[in-house]
Structure 1
Amino acid sequence: MTPTFSIITDGGIDAFPSLLNDVPVAPFSVNFGSQTYKLGQISRAELYRQLETNPEHPTSSQPTPQDWAEAARATAVGDVLGVTISAGLSGSHNAAEQARSVLDGVNVTLHDSRTLSGAQAFQVHAAATAAARGESLETALTWMRAVHEETEIYFTIETLEYLRRGGRIGRVTATLGGLLNLKPVITVDKATGAYTNVGRARTYKGAIEAVAQQLTTRYGEGTPLRLGLMYGSVREDADALLEHVRQRHPVVWHDFVGVNPVLNIHTGPRAVGVVAAPGNWPWER
């Protein structure tokens, strides 16, 4: 089938190798003082080296309208569907809106994923599947909304220090009572598209188990799940999380991705998360 539209996204995505996630990306940037790296210009290994040795605390910058315009121009098919990181976490969606003014003759539809990372990747996969099957852009939006409703993302981090420094700790700190030694289990609130805390543990190992327990609480023990696993500096954390989930659920699909450097500067190096949904994709039922 010939696609009738193209898909672009931003650097909020952590793309899974086995999903239809290979689309043009409007990149975020990582900044260490006056040194700026666009997504793709700094490796995960180099990021961890910089975090250990660079006295400057890193910050991130959202894509510019020009970045979005370049991503749109990189597509080759029809109308453009832009899938953005949650507007509750970044101004990327606003930048994409502004890009429309310089994209004469290109019809751009924007979709706020209201999430990020692997959960954003699930929605891009839904849109790309619709495009590959020759479905309409409206069908793609319907499939993305269905995926959003049934998909959850949970992650934990070894230290809250990076979220605190980046100013993104908000409701997470409030619900932890400011006890920075506790390891949080964090999700993205479906209503606000912002981070919120749903659990805690005294140790990082315990927090990984608590992430797995959240899936059972959400979907019910024994429910078959699709799992996308995201990891920071320690890949084995994702393997451990997968094994915890497998003790309670049949896993019908899974894949792994290292958290991209821009997201990783907010979580800190050691982090692990999962994006999950029940059974088959909505269009396969």
Structure 2
Amino acid sequence: MKVKLIWILIVVGFVSCKDKLEFSKKKAEDEKIIVQYGEHFLTDKDIRLILPKDVSKEDSAKLVKTYIEEWVKKKAIVDKAEENIDELTLKEIDNKMVEYRQDLLINAYNNYLIEKNLKDSLPESEILSYFEKHKESFPLSKDIVQYRYVSVNKSDELRAEKLFNSGNDEDFDELMKIVLTSGNHYHDKDSVWYGADILPAQIPMLNGADNLRELLNRRRLKITNDSLVTMVKILKLKPKGSEAPFNFVKPTIKNLLLNKRKLNLLGDLQKQLYKEAINNNEIKINEKP
């Protein structure tokens, strides 16, 4: 059978039932009408919703007065528009309102499902597995480094420099005693990757001259001022364009997988509801005569 035009009316789950989408305002039994303009009205609950907490009576009265004036103006324009706009345009607006309401409902329900069913944690093995399969998808957009740095009093320079440059963990522990005793700054998270461009923000002594460039070229740098000596060492460097290490892109992959789960959650629900509608004969297809 040839069908020139088909309307598909899908009556599914939370978007079902006749006259469900009704936009006219209803007053609950426990509400009191405060302001009325034509068929429009504001209740005591509407007014309470616009008032901030801990507002004074004087400010409250001003806010309510201003809100009511703007509300009446808007309703007057809406009524005038409905009187003068053609029926087809009004129908188009109504359809957009229905679609917008549906989008709001779906978004709210999606957030409810996410909060109820999804956790922010993911197994390390799942994140690592994704990384292993998609390594080429994560080229570095900038140079990244692992580094150490300490600042010591000038009087401790010779001993500190020897301990810092030895490469021995025990010597570095001994150096940290000197740094902590003097209350100076340091960075010892040597297994964490950082963008090389943020080093000047973490080590202010690198600002100015070509200190950062010299550090990246030589992999170590000593900066001296009147009272302090700062020593920085690049332990590892991965250049821009090379394959990103797992720990550096781990947060990105985690967010990617969580967002994918969120999308799949709503998509799976939509498919399930559509299948149930078919099985329960809730989809009616009417042929235009």
Q: Tell whether the structures are fold-level matches, with TM greater than 0.5.
A: no
Greater helix proportion: 2
Q: Which structure has the bigger radius of gyration? A: 2
TM-score (norm 1): 0.20
Structure number with the higher strand fraction is 1
Select the structure with the greater relative contact order (CA < 8 A; seq sep ≥ 6): 2
